[in-house]
Amino acid sequence: MKYLKTRAQQGKISAKPLGKRILDHWQYYVFLAPALIFVLIFCYAPMYGVTVAFKNYSPMRGITGSAWVGFENFVKLFNLSKFWQVFKNTIVLNFIRLIFDFPAPIILALMLNEVRCHWFQRITQTVVYLPHFMSWVVIAGIMFNILSTDGVINTIISHFGGTPVKFLANPDTFRPLVVISQIWKEAGWGTIIYLAALINISPEFYEAAMIDGASRIKQLIYITIPCILPTISIMLILRMGQIMNSGFDQMFNLLNPSVYDVGDVIDTYVYRIGIVDGRFSMASAVSLFLNIINCAMLVAGDTISKKISGSGLY
Amino acid sequence: MSFKRKSLGDNIFDIVNTVILILIGLSMLAPFWHVVVRSVLPYDEAIKSSFVLFPKKTTFEAYKYILRSERFVSSLGISFIVTVTGTVYQLAMTTFAAFALTKKTLPGRKLFFTMFIVTMFFNGGLIANYLLMRGLKMINNVLVLILPFGISCYNMLIIKSFFEGLPSDMEESARIDGADTFRVFFSIILPLSIPVVATFALFFAVDRWNGWYNAMIYINDKSKWPFVMVLREILISNDTESMQSNYVNQEYMVGDSIKMAAVIVSIFPVMIIYPFIQKYFVKGVTLGAVKG
């Protein structure tokens, strides 16, 4: 019986006709149906809606009724200097983030992993996970309060004789603050995945290293880090797939007109031209362009990783 | 550890590591402490300095104001309803689908699986979603804060891999006793998965409670806003219209303490639940990472 079942699973022989097999599983379909309906409505219908990027959308005619214009929206878009500025801002910001944000949870996880005192480790973990559960609205609000001209930081600066800085309205300090606040909020949470990888390292490696007299730092460099490299590379590939996303939640809440030159990114731009100005086709073209770059980066990252380390996403 | 003798280098390493971690931890807590202090600081203390480590006098006027303000209270009510119904809805959708996909003999399983995976990589983007919501008559409808958050494929896959790791002998013996699929799910699979379900319940609840994006895009009617949108308006848009303006003009700093008190009200429920569920969520998150 067991043998028959596995053969049936492999599709080599069909124990029963398809109709009968579907009927046998009807209860599973009941479980699956809500999710399928959901995905069709809320995920696949918008994918069809992307076609407005190739149309001249008019609210009167709707998506299907609007005229096709081919790549006209994209041509118009690529001729906008504003678009290229926003595009550049996005790339620059995300590149800075990749350099600083990506290693932050790895370093923090390695530090937590080195803690030998159990209760201290647990308390630190509790504290560093906490900001993840706050919304960007709250964090941006706190930042505006602390960093305002009469806020805590500027009070301390003036106390030591410095001149107050308008941190969030200054193009020079805006980018670093975006990166720092992102690390502050998510680095702790990001450690979870690396800590899981660290726990799985066999203690025998460390025992052997200790017999050879390797110091803790040497153990860290020659055992711990190589052992979590596969996890790091998977996280990096996934991160590549997000290269054009700058986190609308964060950017939109921190952005103010004085820093549009450096802080206006594609996500906020799409919102402004689409929802605020109502240029649906144009905004849709930007979204689609973004999505294509993200997917291409994901596939590229995956291919490179497979070539180098032999392990990819799939 | 069997090797008791530690070298000097290792000791320094330990001390430096601990000190840095303490500093990191303090930097995480300091802003919250600041918010707590500002929210209870009386007006005359608040105008003296913007840097107060421990308040000498405290007042709960700001909290009283929030709990008396109709705008705050009604938006808190909306947030509460959205959080509870949204969490139940999302948990049901996600666990049901995950359970169905664990059945290896299900005809069409591969197709359904692909359908879910594709949604992880492609999305219609803001405009297509906006047009959809308009088509579904969900503009200015509180349902827009709940219905679009049914399934996130990534979470579904994690729950699925957890279900697959459950011992199958209980299900088999229940089947022999005549239990049907519904019975198997509700009386065996679900009770065995309480840690994972609790973890995701927390994640979903936090997302609904903190969620403001859909409210901002789709809800123009301010009386239907969740709390976090009202909070956003007074914190970031700096729109004091939502507070009684005469109250703010007279004593500007009181307005400031109301802002901070509103922040506390917003993060309070999360802070309360979080410690109880922390031991579960590490397991919930890492499950996906280990099993792939």
Q: What would the pLDDT profile of A276-308 be if each residue is shown by its tens digit?
A: 888 888 889 988 888 888 888 888 888 887 887
Residue A165 — very low, low, confident or very high, per pLDDT cuts 50/70/90? confident
Question: Are residue A89 and residue A163 in the same domain, yes or no?
Answer: yes
pLDDT tens across B1-24, in order? 444 456 788 888 889 999 999 999
Residue A68 phi, psi (nearest 5): -70, 140
Question: Can you give the residue range of the structural domain that contains A219?
Answer: 79-309
Q: What is the CATH number of the domain that holds A285?
A: 1.10.3720.10
The domain boundary residue, chosen from A33, A68, A103: A68
How far is Cα A272 from Cα A268, in angstroms, rounded to an integer?
6
What's the angle, vertex CA A85, arms to CA A79 and CA A90, rounded to 5? 125
Residues A153 and A46 in one domain: no
Q: CB–CB of A192 and B125 under 8 A? A: no
Whole-number pLDDT of residue A68: 83
pTM for the complete prediction?
Answer: 0.85
Tell whether A35 and A144 lie within a shared domain. no
Residue A73 lies in a domain: no
Q: Which residues contact B259 (CB under 8 A, 6 or more apart)?
A: A141, A145, B234, B235
Q: Pull the structure tokens for residue A177.
A: 């603050």
d(C-alpha A53, C-alpha B246), whole Å:
48
Q: Is residue A74 part of a domain?
A: no
pLDDT, tens digit, 9 for 90 and up, residues B209-221: 999 999 999 999 8
- Give the best-scoring range by mean pLDDT among A187-196, B78-87, B247-256: B78-87
Examine the fold and report which residue of A20, A38, A68 is the final residue of a domain before the chain moves on.
Answer: A68
A188 in a structural domain: yes
pLDDT (tens digit, 9 = 90+) per residue, A195-253?
A: 888 888 888 888 888 888 888 888 888 989 998 888 888 888 888 888 888 888 899 98
Q: H helices of chain A, where?
A: 2-9, 18-24, 26-39, 45-49, 62-65, 72-78, 81-100, 103-114, 118-129, 136-147, 152-159, 171-199, 203-211, 216-219, 225-240, 248-254, 260-263, 266-271, 280-309
Of A17, A34, A68, the last residue of a domain is A68
**Three-state secondary structure call for residue A68:** strand
Does one domain contain both A253 and A172?
Answer: yes
CB neighbours of residue A217 within 10 Å? 13
Beta bridge partners of A56: A67
Query: Residues with Cβ < 8 Å from B13, sequence gap 6 or more?
Result: A114, A215, A216, A217
In this structure, is residue A314 part of a structural domain? no
Q: Which residues in chain A are contacts of B150 at CB distance < 8 A?
A: 34-35, 38, 42
- 3-class secondary structure, A102: coil
Does A204 fall in a domain? yes
Which chain A residues contact residue B35 at CB under 8 A? 142, 145
Indicate whether A10 and A119 sit together in one domain. no
Question: Does A213 fall in a domain?
Answer: yes
The shortest C-alpha distance from B128 to chain A (Å) reads 5
Q: Which pairing describes strands A67-68 and A55-56: parallel, antiparallel, or unpaired?
A: antiparallel
- pLDDT, average across residues B127-156: 90
* A131 and A182 housed in the same domain: yes
- pLDDT number for residue A187: 93
Determine the distance in angstroms separating the CA of A96 from the nearest CA of chain B, rounded to an integer.
21
Q: Are residues A112 and A21 in the same domain?
A: no
Pairwise CB contact (< 8 Å): A25 & B119:
no
The verdict on a CB contact (< 8 Å) between B9 and A298 is no
List the single residue in B with minimal CA-CA distance to A138. B263
* Lookup: tokens for B33: 């402490």
Tell me the backbone φ, ψ of residue A55, rounded to 5 degrees: -125, 165
* Percent of all residues in chain B with a pLDDT value above 90, rounded to a whole number: 35
Chain A environment of B217 (Cβ under 8 Å): 271, 275
Check whether residue A238 and residue A93 sit in a common domain: yes
User: Closest by alpha carbon to A296, among A245, A241, A254, A219?
Assistant: A241
Question: If you count residue pairs, one on A and one on B, with CB atoms under 8 Å apart, how many are there?
Answer: 262
**In the numeric block, which tokens belong to residue A37?**
């309906």
Shortest alpha-carbon distance between residue B82 and chain A (Å): 16
